[in-house]
Amino acid sequence: MSLEIRKISKFFGGMKALDGVSLSVETGEMICFLGPSGCGKTTLLRIIAGLESADGGSIYLDGRDLSSLPARKRNFGVVFQSYSLFPNLSVAANVAYGLECRRWPGAKIRTRVEEMLALVHLGDHARKLPHQLSGGQQQRVALARALAPEPSLLLLDEPLSALDAQVREELQEEIRRVQQHLKITSIMVTHDQEEALSMADRVMVMKDGRVMQTGTPMDIYRKPENSFVAQFIGKMNVLPAQKEIPVQSHVAAEGSRPRVIGIRPEDVQIACCSREEGTFNGVVDQVVRLGNLTRVSLRVGNIMGGEKDFTIVSELQGMGDGLEVGASLPLCVQPENVRVLE
Ligand code: ATP
């Protein structure tokens, strides 16, 4: 089902937690709300779920206004960070719970529970109690329980943040696989940019209750629209625009010089041999070798007649053999890899 969020606002006392947030979610799409703590992600998810009311704006599910529909009638599957399973019920009984509330017939419940547990690879654990499972397994049960009643929307609020890195990665793939298999429209809240980029069809980046940018992971990473998105998603050199660093041709054509540009560290090439336009010098300040990657900070500025010194970071594949602090090296950046930031 499709979801249309129009100009949602929310106040807590005098504090504006959401400030005119709009978003269209297509059927079968997986959207991540991404942003720093306190930006309003959870509040927006709770408003969609019907657990919180908005002070302005509206939400439509397949064209139907949700404002008059209480949470329990929305038929949305919700998964929270804390697994919130019933501790005294078996895995199977946890998954069956929502179906019993909806008065599904017994035989249909048994089939559905089996199907859901197989989907999350827990078929062999049906009779166990939650405390007999690992955190990752408990979250799989929570997912199966949320999906069992065939919800029209799946809402996930930081579902993986209590898990350690490896389990977390496994479950990222798992949730995405299940979501795509069922083609269920889904929204996930996370503050982890890698998680958002790896799982979502589109990411909505938020700050202070506002949308900073909505786009595919590729767009958000390659074409950030402002310096907040540029620096929140991955690493980005945010630099004053200087003539030695090439500026995207369409901006140059407009004749307006931007004040700030962004360049990804992997797009700063060191010791490129051709002395073409866009080549400038940097003095190596620091070299950090990370095994498969080397991060090099270089000082650029006075040496090329700019107003101020600044530091630019370059990331190279491998161990950066021969790179030494103090060396002066030519750097270059392809014009198409320079982003103009607001
Ligand atoms: P986090 O990742 O830390 O959960 P978030 O992006 O999900 O952050 P929200 O939980 O939506 O942010 O909170 C947004 C703002 O609203 C915060 O400043 C928070 O303190 C405030 N807030 C949230 N719920 C309430 C509430 N029930 N009463 C008062 N203020 C609230």
| Rounded distance between C-alpha atoms, residue 238 and residue 220, angstroms | 16
Do 182 and 144 belong to one domain? yes
Do 164 and 202 belong to one domain? yes
Which residue CA neighbors atom 19 of ligand 1 most closely? 38
- CA 37 to ligand 1 center in whole angstroms: 8
| Rounded distance between C-alpha atoms, residue 128 and residue 294, angstroms | 47
Q: Which atom of ligand 1 is found nearest the CA of 189?
A: 7
Do 194 and 246 belong to one domain? no
Do 38 and 177 belong to one domain? yes
| The pLDDT of residue 200 | 97
CATH number at residue 35: 3.40.50.300
CB-CB contact of 146 with 112 (8 Å): no
**Lookup result for tokens 């540029």:** 230
Mean pLDDT of the chain: 89
Q: Which two structure tokens, joined as six digits, stand for 298?
A: 């270089």
Do 199 and 283 belong to one domain? no
Which of 8, 16, 39, 158 maximizes ligand 1 atoms within 8 Å of its Cβ, making it the mutation to test the pocket? Answer: 39
Do 111 and 83 belong to one domain? yes
Domain end among 172, 204, 231? 231
Do 149 and 253 belong to one domain? no
Q: Which atom of ligand 1 is found nearest the CA of 45?
A: 11
Domain end among 193, 209, 231? 231
- Cα 54 to the chain's mean position, in Å? 23
CATH number at residue 327: 2.40.50.140
Do 280 and 328 belong to one domain? yes
Q: Whats the size of the chain, residue-wise?
A: 342
Which residue CA neighbors atom 3 of ligand 1 most closely? 37
- Using CB distances shorter than 6 Å, the residues near ligand 1 are 12, 17, 35, 37-43, 191
CB-CB contact of 306 with 255 (8 Å): no
| The pLDDT of residue 335 | 83
| Rounded distance between C-alpha atoms, residue 18 and residue 218, angstroms | 26
Please determine, for residue 271, whether its predicted confidence score (pLDDT) is greater than 80.
no
- Would you place residue 247 in the very low, low, confident or very high pLDDT band (cuts 50, 70, 90)? low
Over the stretch 17-48, which tens digit does the pLDDT of each residue have? 999 999 999 999 999 999 999 999 999 999 99
Domain end among 196, 231, 266? 231
Do 25 and 53 belong to one domain? yes
- CA 12 to ligand 1 center in whole angstroms: 9
Global pTM reads: 0.87
Which of 32, 34, 39, 43 maximizes ligand 1 atoms within 8 Å of its Cβ, making it the mutation to test the pocket? Answer: 43
Do 178 and 315 belong to one domain? no
Please determine, for residue 316, whether its predicted confidence score (pLDDT) is greater than 80.
yes
Q: What is the ipTM of this complex?
A: 0.96
Over the stretch 273-299, which tens digit does the pLDDT of each residue have? 565 666 788 899 999 999 889 999 999
Distances (CA, A) of 288 to 225, 232, 267, 291, 295: 29, 21, 17, 9, 5
| The pLDDT of residue 39 | 96
Over the stretch 96-107, which tens digit does the pLDDT of each residue have? 999 999 999 999
| Rounded distance between C-alpha atoms, residue 22 and residue 42, angstroms | 15
Residues of 57-80 as b/e, b for ≥16 C-beta within 10 angstroms? bebebeeeebeeeeeeebbbbbbb
- Would you place residue 342 in the very low, low, confident or very high pLDDT band (cuts 50, 70, 90)? confident
- CA 40 to ligand 1 center in whole angstroms: 6
End-to-end CA distance of the chain: 35
- CA 218 to ligand 1 center in whole angstroms: 28
Do 72 and 195 belong to one domain? yes
Do 326 and 245 belong to one domain? yes
Q: Which two structure tokens, joined as six digits, stand for 184?
A: 């269920």
How many independent structural domains does the chain possess? 2
Q: Residue 28 belongs to what domain range?
A: 3-231
Please determine, for residue 250, whether its predicted confidence score (pLDDT) is greater than 50.
no
